[in-house]
Amino acid sequence: MTPVARITRDEVAHVAGLARLRLTDEELERFTEQLGTVLDHAADVASLDLAGVPRTAHAMAVTNVLRPDEPRPSLDREEVLRSAPAVESNRFRVPRILGDAP
């Protein structure tokens, strides 16, 4: 097995930031090690000669799973909003948004 460049601690910190995860130093160390092991496994596959093998999009060899365009009942609004931390004017109330939608 060819060892590939392992994921760095900085990369793990970056990805954790994108996922809005706050990790302790100890967790960063641990996840860097674990993710490295996962990537080593992927590298096993990458070392094979896969020329001519089509990309696999899904673990199941199934396509065209579709449903007819027929309406079904939606949830009761009272029930939906009861689960929300904050509600105003029948809408979900969320902390103010900085910046614009991507």
Partner 1 sequence: MTDVRRADQDGAGEAWEMVVGLEVHTELKTATKLFCGCANLFGDEPNTRVCPVCLGLPGSLPVLNQRAVELAMAIGTALHCEIRPSTFHRKNYFYPDMPKDYQISQYDEPINVSGWLELPGGRRIGIERAHLEEDTGKTAHAGASGRIHGAEYSLVDYNRSGVPLVEIVSAPDMRSSAEARAYAAELRAILVACGASDGKMEEGSMRVDANVSVRRGPDAPFGTRCEIKNLNSLRSLGRAVDFEARRQIALLESGEVVVQQTRHWDEGEGRTVALRSKEEAYDYRYFLEPDLVPVVPDPAWITAVGASLGPLPGERRARLATLVAGALPAGAGGSPDPGVGADLEGAPGVSDADQEQISTVVDLGLDGLVTAAVEGGIPARLALARTANEAATDAAAAAGLDPRAYTSLLAMEVAGSLSATQVKAVLHDLLAGGGDPAELARARGFEAMADGALVAVVQEAVDSHPAEWDRYRGGEEKLAQFFVGQVMKATRGQANGKAVVAELERLAAR
Residues interacting with partner 1, by CB under 8 A?
Answer: 15, 18-20, 57-60, 62-75, 77, 80-81, 86, 88-97, 99-102
Residue 9 main-chain phi, psi, to 5 deg:
-60, -40
How far apart are CB 10 and partner 1 at their closest, in Å? 14
Element (H, E) at 58: none
Residue 3 phi, psi (nearest 5): -70, 130
CB of 3 to partner 1, least distance (A): 25
CB of 81 to partner 1, least distance (A): 7
If the CB atoms of residues 1 and 18 are measured against partner 1, the closer one turns out to be 18
Q: Are 31 and 22 in contact (CB under 8 A)?
A: no
Q: Minimum CB separation from partner 1 for residue 64, in Å?
A: 6
Q: Which is nearer to partner 1, 24 or 64 (CB)?
A: 64
Nearer to partner 1, 26 or 88 (CB): 88
**36-72 burial code (b ≥16 CB/10 A, e <16):** beeeeeeeeeeeeeeeeeeeeeeeeeeeeeeeeeeee
